[in-house]
Amino acid sequence: MDQLNLRHLYYFWMISREGTIARASEVLDLAPQTLSGQLATFESSLGGLLFERERRRLHLTDLGRTVLGYADEIFALTSELNDVVRLDPSDRPLTLSAGVSASIHKLIAYSLLQPAMNLQRPVRLNCLTGNTEDLILRLKRKELDVVLTDWVPQVEDQGGFAVHPLAGSTVSLFGSSCLAQPLKQGFPQSLNGAPMLATTADAPYFKNLMDWLSINGVTPEIVARIDDSALVKVFGSQGLGVFAAPTAIRDEVCRQYQVEEIASIDEVKEALFAITRSKHPAHDGVRAICETSDWFSVDNKASKKTMYSDV
């Protein structure tokens, strides 16, 4: 079978729903002999029977039940599509496919995506996490509408991408109460030998943090490397080590994970970017993300000017 005949599939689906060829032929306004012939042609193309015939009743075969399962999904989507295209264009759901770098904290990713979800028209979000280079390749293949990242890789590429600087934040260190309390005294030297949870994702802020600690003569003990920002916080909440997170989400981190802030480090900042295929995105959801970068306030915000570069 080179190509499935959807008309034949629809006839089979209607026969299955109605129970007999006679009733289905009335619904379809076809002669029973014509419908029976169409069903036979479809079964021949599939290489097997879809119904077992017992007197005047039809019973699905194993192949018939399998085909019916797919037909139910196909024609449910067809009905949904028919409803959508009949809507006024402004009322049609807007699909937004966003890639989010795994190194971005999940609370921040939610906040960055929220402007798109708050549009007046309904939005259907498809969100994919991964490393920035892979996400940009998907953006190039038009599998994604926007990539949210905390760093912009420099790679050879035939085409350009628009890089939209979003807001940034200083970085804070957190820990469980029993771990945080003694570390607050004499910071940052108190971190010498202290257990620390590191991220294995390409997070520039963590590298900057380690550089800052090194400059200050501080060497914590890395007890675990974890590539998921939410899992880092879970480990930290259990007292396994100190972890870093943007100061902008300090209150939510402390509330959600029952940890305390040890200190905020003004010299270490996390910058965020939205990467799109063009300087002026036509997608309403992407525009909302790129134009709403003041979802939290920080000192020395990145410029709102859009850069255009090969990434």
**Is residue 1 in a domain?**
no
The total domain count for the chain is: 3
Q: Which residues form the domain of 254?
A: 169-270
Gap between the Cα atoms of 11 and 8, Å rounded: 5
- Helix residue ranges, H only, the chain: 6-18, 21-28, 32-46, 62-85, 106-117, 132-140, 177-184, 204-215, 229-237, 250-257, 284-291
**Is residue 139 in a domain?**
yes
Can you give the CATH number for the domain in which 149 is found? 3.40.190.10
Query: Both 117 and 232 in a single domain?
Result: no
**Is residue 23 in a domain?**
yes
Can you give the CATH number for the domain in which 69 is found? 1.10.10.10
**Is residue 58 in a domain?**
yes
Residue that terminates a domain, selected from 85, 104, 139:
85
**Is residue 245 in a domain?**
yes
**Cβ neighbours around 99 below 10 Å, total:** 25
Contact 126, 96 (CB under 8 A): yes
Query: Both 97 and 28 in a single domain?
Result: no
Q: Is the dihedral of CA 105, 108, 112, 117 positive or negative?
A: positive
By CB neighbour count within 10 A (0-12 exposed, 13-18 middle, 19+ buried), where does 239 fall?
Answer: middle
Q: What is the pLDDT along the chain (311 residues), one digit of tens a residue?
A: 467 889 999 999 999 988 889 999 999 999 999 999 999 999 999 999 999 987 767 889 999 999 999 999 898 888 777 766 765 666 667 889 999 998 888 888 998 999 999 988 889 999 999 888 899 989 988 899 999 998 887 654 435 688 999 878 899 999 999 999 999 999 999 999 999 999 866 678 888 999 999 999 999 999 999 888 888 999 999 999 999 999 989 999 999 999 999 999 999 988 899 999 888 888 889 999 998 754 444 443 333 333 333 33
Residue that terminates a domain, selected from 68, 85, 102:
85
Cis link prior to 188 (omega < 30° from 0)?
yes
